[in-house]
Amino acid sequence: MEQTDVDFEVLSLGIVVCIIAFSLLSKAISRTILTLPILFVALGLLCAPVTPALGSPEDLLGTARLVAEITLVLVLFTDASAVRFKQLRSTFTIPLRMLVIGMPATIVLGTVVVLFINPEAGVAMALLTAALLTPTDAALGQTVVSSPEVPRHLSQSINVESGLNDGLALPFVLFGAILASQSAAGTDGLVMMAVTQIVLGPLVGIAVGWSAARALDYVQQRDWIVESAQGVVFLGTAFVSYLGSELVGGNGFIAAFVAGATFGNFYRHNIHFITEFMEGAGQLLTMTAFLIFGALMLPDALGHMNWPTVAVAVAFLTFVRMLPIFLSLAGTGLAMRDKLFLGWFGPRGLASILFTLIMMEEFDLPHADELLACVSLTVGLSVLLHGVSATPLAKYIGSFKETTQSDQENDAVPY
């Protein structure tokens, strides 16, 4: 037996044992500041020295992209299924301001900050870096979104923003990548591409989510479907929305989020099967995604780490995100602590990594390895800082919570 085979078997055994150990202690771990992403990124770092024996860097990055893509689609669809339109009618002003005012302002401020820290980057690479580091991650924000301590209007705002801002940031990412690439072919069609992505994505999501909800209601009323098959419908709906949108030129991630929200609001029966899936197979997929990130990308980021990359990472996790969000919420009546809370909980994760890998594959970018390292370092710091602060800050913000009738009604909705 070859040494690489032995290494792979030993590595796989160790990872499976760690997954079992985490599952056995999951409730105890949830009471601490440790989170699933923190633990599995750390495990990935421990596995990093043996990963070169598993394949070429190109093949490994391809695997990382695929796992990140699948995980992000499922997380977006699942989180969106918990969004209730009835409640959002009274609270949508908050995420709308964060998306329409806060997100573009974050990209503009981020571009200026990158240029200030590293003038040699140029405007195009500064814009691309800012656009890649602006989307927030539903997977990393899950602790706050699902916490009963956090007032509903805040958790729903974080959830909606993280679901939609990756798709809305994509035109800025594309524009930055085209400008930064050595060949600017295709620039003329950029505006049409951006409009198509943003318009067709939601349309496909609505169509797929509504159709799946109606179909599942129909067969369930007639007792034509076994309970275990409902999870298969959930999986199929998530990926049909994503793939269908990509096929017609829309944004698949926006489609997955909108499809989840539509499905969750129009399906008339209990949707516990979605939660059950994400607590089982979905959680396993999330573990895998962050383990791969820790094993393949974070070591590179640490190897390229210098003061400019650290400064960029810290800036984007603090004032580059928090200041625009704080200003965008002026006049909403939110307390200062709520605005700071929403500004802080904009964790960077799978969306930033995935967009970076896609842009590196599709465009000839200068200093692409350094860009990936910078994004990976930011995500690594976000995993740590947002992870350890999630539970304490959720309890803190929850101490000011005033339970309203709409909160009680929303909490009663079965998931």
pLDDT tens for residues 206-221?
A: 999 999 999 999 999 9
Tell me if 262 is assigned to some domain. yes
Q: Residue 64: pLDDT band by 50, 70, 90 thresholds?
A: confident
CATH of the domain at 207: 1.20.1530.20
Domain enclosing residue 134, as ranges = 32-411
pLDDT digits (tens, 9 = 90+) for 343-388: 999 898 888 988 888 888 878 888 888 898 899 999 999 999 998 9
284 has a pLDDT exceeding 90: no
pLDDT tens, 193-209? 767 777 888 999 999 99
Query: Residue 84: what pLDDT?
Result: 72
Q: What mean pLDDT do residues 94-111 have?
A: 94
For the chain, the straight-line distance linking the first and the last C-alpha, in angstroms and rounded, comes to 49
Residue 350 inside a domain? The answer is yes
pLDDT tens per residue, range 389-410: 988 898 899 888 654 434 444 4
Residue 189 per-residue DSSP state? G
What is the number of residues in the chain?
A: 415
Considering only residues 68 and 108, tell me which one the structure prediction assigns the higher pLDDT: 108
- Rounded mean pLDDT of the chain? 84
Mean pLDDT of 154-179: 82
Taking the C-alpha atoms of residue 385 and residue 85, their distance in angstroms, rounded to an integer, is 31
pLDDT of residue 87: 64
DSSP per residue, 146-212:
T-TTS-HHHHHHHHHHHHHHHHHHHHHHHHHHHHHSS--TTGGGHHHHHHHHHHHHHHHHHHHHHHH
Helix (H) or strand (E) holding 325: helix 319-328
Q: Is residue 14 situated within a structural domain?
A: no
Residue with tokens 């000839």: 364
What is the total count of domains within the chain? 1
Q: Would you say residue 9 lies in a domain?
A: no
Which residues, in sequence order, are CB contacts of 364 under 8 Å at separation 6+?
Answer: 181, 182, 183
Contact 166, 352 (CB under 8 A): no
The residue among 172 and 207 whose pLDDT is bigger is 207
> What confidence tens digit (pLDDT) does each residue in 298-328 have?
998 888 888 999 999 999 999 999 999 999 9
Stretch 82-93: mean pLDDT: 71
- The CA distance from 55 to 184, in Å, is 33
**Alpha-carbon span 196 to 10, nearest angstrom:** 47
Average of pLDDT values for 283-302? 87
The pLDDT confidence band at residue 187, using thresholds 50, 70 and 90, is: low
* Number of DSSP helices (H) and strands (E) in the chain, helices first: 22, 0
**From start to end of 325-388, where are the E strands?**
none
Per-residue model confidence (pLDDT) at position 412: 39
In a domain, 265, yes or no: yes
Q: Return the H-helix or E-strand segment holding 397.
A: helix 368-398
Quote the pTM value: 0.80
Determine what percent of the chain is predicted with pLDDT higher than 90.
32
Q: What pLDDT does 322 receive?
A: 96
pLDDT, residue 215, reads 94
pLDDT category at 5 given cuts 50, 70, 90 is low
User: Would you list the DSSP string of 372-395?
Assistant: HHHHHHHHHHHHHHHHHHHHHHHH
The first and second tokens of residue 298, run together, are 């974070």
Cα-based angle 339, 345, 346 (whole degrees, multiple of 5): 110
Residue 67 lies in a domain: yes
Q: Kindly state whether residue 360 falls inside one of the protein's structural domains.
A: yes
* pLDDT over threshold 90, residue 160: no
3-state secondary structure 118-158: CHHHHHHHHHHHHHHCCCCCCCCCHHHHCCCCCCHHHHHHH
Cβ atoms of 206 and 245 within 8 Å: the answer is: no
Domain for residue 11, yes or no?
Answer: no
